[in-house]
Structure 1
Amino acid sequence: MKVFALSLLVMLMTFAFADDPEHGAFLPAQAAADVLKDYAGADGAFLGAGLIKKTYVADDLSTLLQYPTDELVIVKLNGAQIKQALERSLSLYPEANSSFLQLSGFDVVFAKVSNNGQHIVQVKCNGSDLDESKNYQIAMPSSLGRGGLGYFKIWDKAKITKTFSGVTVETVLKGKRYVETSPRWVASGS
């Protein structure tokens, strides 16, 4: 029993989750990303930490939003761009980073210490390995879709393939409850 408990503790310690969206996987924001992904029928969803409040009401995920009037958009990104975005998320790790992405549809294994600026070890999209040449549809707030939070280095508004006109991120999340999920960012080599 002691071995099991110790193993479980070690496993839990390898997850990178935080009470602050700028320091790692913020589980309520992941739940919000899940709602955006499902609403949009997308392969995944991104929510930038700089767009998220640290406090919220558990039975209304829209209270997480700094900018609730952003429209929901879908951005077409290839796997290589997604990997670049994930690396950008970790560019200041373990320091706070307003560009840190809260994810839906993706599970990321990363090295705590970068290897020549690279942290990403493995990325899964909906259970399958990320294909760097394949295109993926990613739901996100319009400000992020236009390249906000420094993501203009990876994509810009030309990559937006669909705008849910008149549908704000707030309207999608309004009244949706926080449902706990597993962290989608997992540190390797702990």
Structure 2
Amino acid sequence: MAAVSVALVAKLGVDGKYEAENYRIQSQDNFYEISNLDGEAIAKFELQSNRAVFMEDRTTVDQQIDFTKTAFKTTTVDIASLTQNQGYLAAIDKLGDLAPAGARGVVVVENVLNETGQESFKGEYYNFQRNQDGDITIVNNHTGEDILRTMQGQISLNAMTPTDLKNFQQAFQRMNSPKPMLEQSSPDLER
């Protein structure tokens, strides 16, 4: 957990903070804190001469699995080039729930815009737009505020609420689940 946290803050974080899809990792000096989406600290550790000393560890087995999978996959990956060169789908594939917050949102939006052949799409809750440079903006229809923006392939603004993240995670799961075959129409419907 410590190695993954340090790597993510160093490579993809901003000002000692890294916002992941399901976690937030913060560091100050050599102290690190990992929180869940509800803002509860699940682990705290200090780096002492390249060794992590945990002061607190209330992680669940699922959370440990998330970090272990990521650790395994990132040992052979240059994290910094992940989102920029390979796109967010590759980042989600390699980092899972530790992918940059909003990564699933970007993938969902790109998918919707590509499927519809449009550069903008207005949904019930969100507005999606892609500019000529390929950068994406997601607007909350109820507040009119931008909740996510990319710039040159990197997420430059992320003001998604936990509800927004959950909505996009669900859309992402639906997008990646196998589509059911259309059932044969029943004679009852044809009458």
Tell me, yes or no, whether TM beats 0.5: no
Higher relative contact order by CA 8 Å / sep ≥ 6: 1 or 2? 1
- TM-score of the pair, normalised by structure 1: 0.26
Higher helix share: 2
- TM-score of the pair, normalised by structure 2: 0.26
